């Protein structure tokens, strides 16, 4: 970098910054800033032309004011003018201002691009680096379009200086991450890969970051990099610290480059070439050997660099999973770290051993450290390390140590941190089920789990124990006896009451022979918990009571008295009231045979994947179980018992025919989001609480999605209309931002009062879509129309839609309406024009099976050419002419803009007019987008 001359000190800037720092209040600071802004504005608009130094000084002041949090709306042109200066300091300030303040939509972007082109072609390495840094910092699509083809040429040119090559590689990496569809390496691929052989280590370090990113997207095109990476890694590993003096960090040669090389190799399977593979194995052995050597320095930087390489090498060994000797050595090395005084090393060791435990070669070696891991679970101060210890115990568990590990995890649960208790409960439940040879042990474990951590036992856990008990005749009597004993505790968790009510209602007759657990004793025990429970649990207990009448006719009079009391048949909760009335009537009028048929014991559940596994699969983060483990669990769990997500809501059970169970009767509610008995009653289908003094509540609003699909390929129209209200919609989208105008029209002559609207994003949509709404007027006069504006930001790809809830009073009655807002992922398309060659080249690049979604379907509408074109254009993509060899086919291209990433999408629609059929194929760089777009579009044609 050129030296800064003495005159470049900018004394005026230093004085201004000093004045700002000396301000005693916020008002004084704003006053000083406004004075300075007025002075700068007058200087820029004055008749006297400013020299480069003055422009630089004032632009610097504007930049400083902006960094203080104030808006800057002028000075951009002066900054652009600084780019044409031949002085480094002036050009540097110009680029700095542009990188920070100029956005991609600026009208000045063309002038900026011209200045950048001039600097890139100047062959002045300092100016070229400044230009490349600016491109990378702004990283806009316009800059990618302008320079994506130029930067690779600079990168591989023989006369380009090393410092420029480094900047060019990192700049290209930035553009590829923001606009992958525009950065096509093509002819430059092999030359970029050969940068791994460059003599300058800085160039190699920068290039490998680019190659790693490109390899992750297009592994086949860059597979030649494997042999070059192994060769370079071998030279670094075998070198002494003095050989790479400029790139040695605390006696560790090129640690950053070594880590990047090892990470690059993790993008590929083990080398097929025997010589390359042998050389790589030798490198990995050398790294493991060096880890055993005494440290050359006591500085923490030395151990950090050394361990960074070691952990990347172990990650590569785990990735290959083909060298038993290396896997065992890696496990032993990690085992030494389990008792290291450094907390971070213990954490990383536990995390890596979790992965090693899934390998058939190293699983036994991992198990040898079980005592150390159990000790870590008990004694570690850091909660994150304790969580990793629990994860490792879960991963190393098998039939030989299951009882020990489950016992230790149960013991730890009593004092475990609240943040990890739910996940711990799931893992204990899975292990107990997966490795249960003795089902009495399984029942004891789950009941103990409910006792210790009842608040964290999700519905899936107690559903699952009931499913297994029902499917296993040999454990039903033991389960009934055990749960009866558990319910006798004075403080009993509600989940225990649920399990007890269900199991005793089904199998209480198996223990009724003992006077200590006679039918009446069982009933009194359950009913003693009734008043302490929530409404869903009370509903379940009422169902257990009616089951008792079938199992134990001698309890009929006692139970009918309970059902007949005012607290039941006049209960304020309509669900409990309905159950009490219906069960009382059923027990009174039905014959013994009819009652026995209606209340027959539940049949075994079909064999399906455990719902607990399904729940754990949904959990995010490093503590989540891997797909491989889940598949293993599914295979082994299926041998033990029938499982599944079918459950039993005992209310429905009471009225169901056990010999022909309906598949729609999700009896335990596993497929239902609402708890048992908690669903709001629909008008006309449930009993009304005639004793209630409260006025009529607003009916629950079912989601209306009738108009949703009509707006996939259009932005304007009527979303909803009934006799009272009309809702119109008008929307516009640009990149990842959208604005929607909703028009609410009162079709009556009567005023709408208390008019409120609420927009909500259900579930995961909250983190995928940001919707901001402006409030509406609470009164809508008859025949009037009001408007509401919604601002929408797409953070990442999504599949659900926001919900619009509207409430208002009309003639004293509360109206409640919920609609799906037509915000779909295709609204954020940016059309992309492509030639036939580029289209099919990109089509081949998106060749991984998960990237493609295809659907063949019958035409729902007329196959008119103009209508098809209009819908495809309304989708938001570019309709490409003369691209497909078959002129009857339609192809489109576009990029979905989200805040976090851009997703390139290609579409091919093949109509068959004779058969009145379509074949729709989508290929996107993200599989979830392919599937969602395919679902949406199949409904449009």
| 3-state SS record for 444-488 | HHHHHHHHHHHHHCCHHHHHHHHHHHHHCHHHHHHHHHHHHHHHC
Three-state DSSP class for residue 600: coil
Cα gap 510→55, rounded to integer Å: 93
Read off the pLDDT of residues 502-513 as tens digits, 9 standing for 90 and up: 999 999 989 988
pLDDT at 754 (0 to 100): 86
pLDDT at 127 (0 to 100): 93
pLDDT at 209 (0 to 100): 93
Residue labelled with tokens 């669990």:
633
Cα gap 707→224, rounded to integer Å: 52
Biggest CA-to-CA distance, the chain = 109
pLDDT at 709 (0 to 100): 82
pLDDT at 607 (0 to 100): 64
How many CA atoms are closer than 13 Å to the CA of 151, on its beta-carbon side? Answer: 33
Do 886 and 910 form a contact (C-beta atoms < 8 A)? yes
Per the structure block, which two tokens stand in for 837? Answer: 């060659």
Q: Residue 417 pLDDT > 90, yes or no?
A: no
How many CA atoms are closer than 13 Å to the CA of 599, on its beta-carbon side? Answer: 27
Cα gap 630→217, rounded to integer Å: 27
Q: Residue 418 pLDDT > 70, yes or no?
A: yes
pLDDT at 242 (0 to 100): 62
DSSP 250-293: TTEESHHHHHHHHHHHTTSPPPSSHHHHHHHHHHHHHHHHHHHS
Q: Is the dihedral of CA 854, 856, 857, 863 positive or negative?
A: positive
- Name the residue among 671, 673, 699 with its Cα closest to residue 816: 699
Where residue 416 falls among pLDDT bands split at 50, 70, 90? confident
- Contact partners, residue 884, CB within 8 Å, separation at least 6: 836, 890, 891, 908
Three-state DSSP class for residue 95: helix
Work out the angle between the directed axes of helices 556-564 and 519-530 (0-180°, nearest 10): 20
Q: How does 819-839 read in b/e, with b if 16+ C-beta sit within 10 Å?
A: bbbbbbbbbbbbebebeeebb
CA angle 283, 289, 294 (to 5 degrees): 135
Cα gap 257→189, rounded to integer Å: 21
Do 533 and 492 form a contact (C-beta atoms < 8 A)? no
pLDDT at 623 (0 to 100): 40
Do 890 and 884 form a contact (C-beta atoms < 8 A)? yes
pLDDT at 208 (0 to 100): 93
Do 880 and 833 form a contact (C-beta atoms < 8 A)? yes
pLDDT at 753 (0 to 100): 86
* H or E segment and range at residue 408: helix 402-413
pLDDT at 265 (0 to 100): 92
Q: How confident is the model over 681-685, as a mean pLDDT? A: 32
Q: Residue 732 pLDDT > 70, yes or no?
A: yes
Do 441 and 399 form a contact (C-beta atoms < 8 A)? no
Cα gap 841→843, rounded to integer Å: 5
DSSP at 753? E
Cα gap 243→256, rounded to integer Å: 16
Per the structure block, which two tokens stand in for 203? Answer: 């160039």
Cα gap 861→941, rounded to integer Å: 6
Read off the pLDDT of residues 631-655 as tens digits, 9 standing for 90 and up: 443 343 333 333 333 333 333 333 3
Residue 861 CB neighbour total at 10 angstroms: 10
Q: Residue 670 pLDDT > 80, yes or no?
A: no
Specify the range with the lowest mean pLDDT, choosing from 585-599, 703-717, 919-933. 703-717
Q: How confident is the model over 821-838, as a mean pLDDT? A: 87
Where residue 694 falls among pLDDT bands split at 50, 70, 90? very low
Cα gap 712→732, rounded to integer Å: 13
- Name the residue among 158, 164, 81 with its Cα closest to residue 120: 164
Where residue 591 falls among pLDDT bands split at 50, 70, 90? confident
Q: Residue 291 pLDDT > 90, yes or no?
A: no
CA angle 212, 218, 219 (to 5 degrees): 70
Which residues sit opposite 725 in a β-bridge?
746
Q: Residue 728 pLDDT > 60, yes or no?
A: yes
pLDDT at 51 (0 to 100): 86
Residue 397 dihedral angles phi and psi, to the nearest 5°: -70, 135
Q: Residue 21 pLDDT > 70, yes or no?
A: yes
Where residue 309 falls among pLDDT bands split at 50, 70, 90? very high
User: What percentage of residues in the chain have a pLDDT greater than 90?
Assistant: 21
Q: How does 249-270 read in b/e, with b if 16+ C-beta sit within 10 Å?
A: bbbbbbbbbbbbbbbbbebbeb
Work out the angle between the directed axes of helices 52-67 and 88-101 (0-180°, nearest 10): 30
Q: How confident is the model over 717-741, as a mean pLDDT? A: 88
In the chain the first and final C-alpha atoms are separated, in Å, by: 61
Where residue 608 falls among pLDDT bands split at 50, 70, 90? low
Q: Residue 140 pLDDT > 70, yes or no?
A: yes
pTM (predicted TM-score): 0.60
Read off the pLDDT of residues 319-355 as tens digits, 9 standing for 90 and up: 888 888 899 999 998 988 888 888 899 999 999 999 8
Do 624 and 617 form a contact (C-beta atoms < 8 A)? yes
Q: How confident is the model over 195-222, as a mean pLDDT? A: 90
Q: Residue 284 pLDDT > 60, yes or no?
A: yes
Do 593 and 710 form a contact (C-beta atoms < 8 A)? no
Cα gap 182→117, rounded to integer Å: 18
- Contact partners, residue 444, CB within 8 Å, separation at least 6: 482
Q: How big, in percent rounded to 5, are the helix, strand and coil portions of the chain?
A: 55, 10, 35
Cα gap 509→548, rounded to integer Å: 9
Cα gap 682→702, rounded to integer Å: 10
Where residue 940 falls among pLDDT bands split at 50, 70, 90? confident
Among 180-184, 580-584, 609-613, top mean pLDDT goes to: 580-584
Do 262 and 309 form a contact (C-beta atoms < 8 A)? yes
pLDDT at 281 (0 to 100): 92
pLDDT at 49 (0 to 100): 82
Per the structure block, which two tokens stand in for 808? Answer: 């208002």
Q: How confident is the model over 735-764, as a mean pLDDT? A: 88
**356 to 318, 331, 363, 624: CA distances (angstroms):** 6, 7, 7, 15
Mean pLDDT of the chain: 82
Cα gap 114→81, rounded to integer Å: 11
Which residues sit opposite 746 in a β-bridge?
725
pLDDT at 642 (0 to 100): 35
Q: Residue 260 pLDDT > 90, yes or no?
A: yes
pLDDT at 244 (0 to 100): 73
Three-state DSSP class for residue 306: helix
Q: How confident is the model over 184-202, as a mean pLDDT? A: 87
Per the structure block, which two tokens stand in for 504? Answer: 């005793």
How many CA atoms are closer than 13 Å to the CA of 634, on its beta-carbon side? Answer: 17
Read off the pLDDT of residues 28-72 as tens digits, 9 standing for 90 and up: 999 999 999 999 999 888 878 888 888 889 999 999 999 999 888
Q: Residue 658 pLDDT > 80, yes or no?
A: no
Q: Is the dihedral of CA 537, 539, 545, 551 positive or negative?
A: negative
Residue 697 dihedral angles phi and psi, to the nearest 5°: -85, 160
């Amino acid at each position: 970098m050129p030296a800064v001359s003495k005159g470049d000190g900018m004394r005026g800037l230093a004085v201004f910054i000093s004045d700002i720092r000396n301000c005693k209040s916020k008002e004084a600071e704003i006053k000083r800033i406004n004075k300075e802004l007025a002075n700068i504005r007058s200087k820029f608009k004055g008749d006297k032309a400013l020299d480069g130094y003055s422009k630089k000084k004032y632009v610097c002041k504007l930049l400083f004011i902006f960094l203080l949090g104030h808006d800057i709306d002028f000075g951009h042109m002066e900054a652009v003018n600084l780019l044409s200066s031949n002085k480094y300091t002036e050009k540097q300030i110009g680029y700095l201002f542009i990188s920070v303040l100029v956005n991609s939509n600026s009208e000045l972007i063309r002038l900026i691009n011209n200045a950048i082109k001039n600097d890139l072609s100047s062959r002045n390495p300092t100016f070229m680096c400044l230009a490349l840094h600016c491109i990378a910092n702004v990283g806009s699509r316009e800059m990618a379009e302008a320079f994506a083809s130029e930067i690779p040429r600079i990168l591989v040119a023989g006369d380009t200086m090393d410092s420029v090559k480094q900047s060019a590689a990192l700049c290209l990496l930035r553009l590829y991450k923001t606009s992958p569809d525009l950065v096509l390496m093509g002819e430059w691929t092999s030359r970029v890969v050969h940068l791994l052989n460059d003599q300058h280590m800085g160039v190699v370090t920068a290039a490998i970051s680019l190659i790693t990113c490109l390899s992750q997207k297009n592994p086949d095109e860059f597979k030649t990099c494997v042999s070059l990476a192994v060769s370079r890694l071998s030279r670094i590993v075998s070198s002494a610290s003095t050989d790479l003096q400029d790139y040695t960090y605390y006696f560790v040669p090129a640690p950053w480059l070594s880590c990047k090389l090892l990470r690059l190799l993790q993008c590929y399977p083990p080398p097929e070439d025997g010589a390359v593979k042998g050389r790589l194995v030798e490198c990995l052995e050398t790294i493991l050997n060096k880890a055993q050597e005494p440290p050359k320095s006591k500085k923490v930087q030395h151990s950090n660099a050394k361990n960074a390489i070691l952990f990347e090498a172990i990650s590569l060994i785990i990735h290959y999973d083909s060298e038993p000797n290396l896997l065992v050595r890696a496990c032993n090395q990690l085992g030494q770290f389990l008792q290291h005084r450094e907390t971070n090393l213990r954490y990383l060791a536990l995390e890596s051993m979790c992965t090693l435990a899934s390998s058939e070669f190293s699983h036994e070696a991992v198990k040898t450290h079980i005592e150390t891991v159990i000790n870590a679970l008990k004694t570690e101060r850091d909660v994150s390390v304790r969580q990793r210890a629990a994860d490792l115990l879960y991963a190393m568990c098998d039939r030989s140590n299951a009882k020990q590990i489950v016992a230790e995890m149960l013991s730890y649960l009593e004092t475990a941190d609240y943040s990890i208790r739910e996940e711990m409960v799931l893992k204990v439940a899975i292990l107990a089920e997966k490795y249960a040879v003795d089902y009495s042990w399984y029942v004891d474990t789950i009941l103990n789990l409910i006792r210790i951590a009842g608040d964290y036992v999700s519905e899936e856990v107690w559903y699952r124990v009931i499913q297994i008990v029902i499917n296993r005749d040999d454990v039903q009597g033991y389960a009934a006896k055990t749960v009866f004993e558990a319910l006798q505790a004075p403080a009993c968790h509600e989940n225990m009451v649920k399990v007890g009510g269900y199991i005793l209602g089904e199998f209480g007759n198996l223990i009724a022979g003992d006077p200590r657990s006679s039918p009446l004793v069982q009933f009194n025990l359950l009913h003693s918990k009734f008043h302490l429970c929530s409404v869903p649990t009370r509903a379940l207990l009422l169902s257990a009571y009616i089951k008792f009448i079938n199992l134990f006719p001698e309890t009929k009079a006692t139970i009918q008295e309970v059902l007949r009391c005012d607290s039941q048949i006049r209960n304020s909760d309509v669900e409990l009231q309905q159950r009490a009335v219906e069960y009382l009537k059923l027990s009174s009028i039905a014959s013994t045979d009819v009652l026995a048929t209606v209340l027959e014991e539940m049949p075994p559940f079909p064999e399906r994947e455990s719902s607990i596994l399904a729940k754990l699969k949904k959990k995010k983060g490093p503590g989540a179980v891997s797909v491989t483990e889940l598949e293993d669990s599914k295979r082994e769990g299926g041998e033990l018992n029938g499982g599944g997500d079918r459950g039993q809501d005992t209310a429905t059970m009471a009225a169901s025919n056990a010999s022909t169970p309906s598949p729609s009767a999700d009896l335990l509610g596993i497929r239902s989001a609402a708890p048992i008995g908690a669903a709001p009653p629909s008008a006309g289908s449930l009993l009304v609480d005639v004793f209630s003094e409260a006025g009529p509540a607003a009916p629950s609003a079912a989601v209306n999605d009738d108009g949703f699909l009509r707006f996939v390929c259009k932005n304007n129209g009527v979303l909803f209309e009934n006799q009272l209200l009309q809702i119109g919609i008008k929307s516009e989208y640009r990149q990842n931002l959208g604005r929607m105008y909703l028009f609410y029209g009162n079709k009556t002559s009567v005023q709408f009062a208390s008019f409120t609207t609420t927009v909500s994003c259900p579930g995961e949509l909250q983190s995928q879509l940001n919707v901001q709404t402006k409030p509406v007027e609470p009164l809508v006069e008859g025949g009037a129309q009001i408007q509401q504006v919604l601002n929408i930001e797409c953070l990442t790809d999504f599949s659900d839609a926001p919900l619009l809830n509207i409430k208002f009073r009309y003639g004293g009655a509360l109206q409640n309406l919920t609609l799906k807002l037509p915000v779909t992922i295709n609204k954020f398309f940016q059309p992309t024009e492509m030639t036939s060659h580029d289209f099919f080249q990109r089509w081949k690049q998106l060749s991984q099976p998960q990237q493609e979604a295809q659907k063949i379907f019958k035409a729902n509408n007329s196959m008119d050419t103009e209508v098809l074109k209009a819908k495809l254009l309304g989708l938001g993509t570019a309709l490409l002419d003369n691209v497909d060899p078959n002129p009857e086919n339609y192809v489109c291209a576009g990029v979905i803009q989200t805040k976090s990433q851009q997703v390139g999408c290609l579409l091919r629609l093949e109509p068959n007019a004779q058969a009145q059929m379509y074949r729709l194929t989508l290929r996107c760089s993200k599989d979830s987008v392919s599937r969602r777009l395919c679902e949406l579009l199949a409904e449009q044609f």
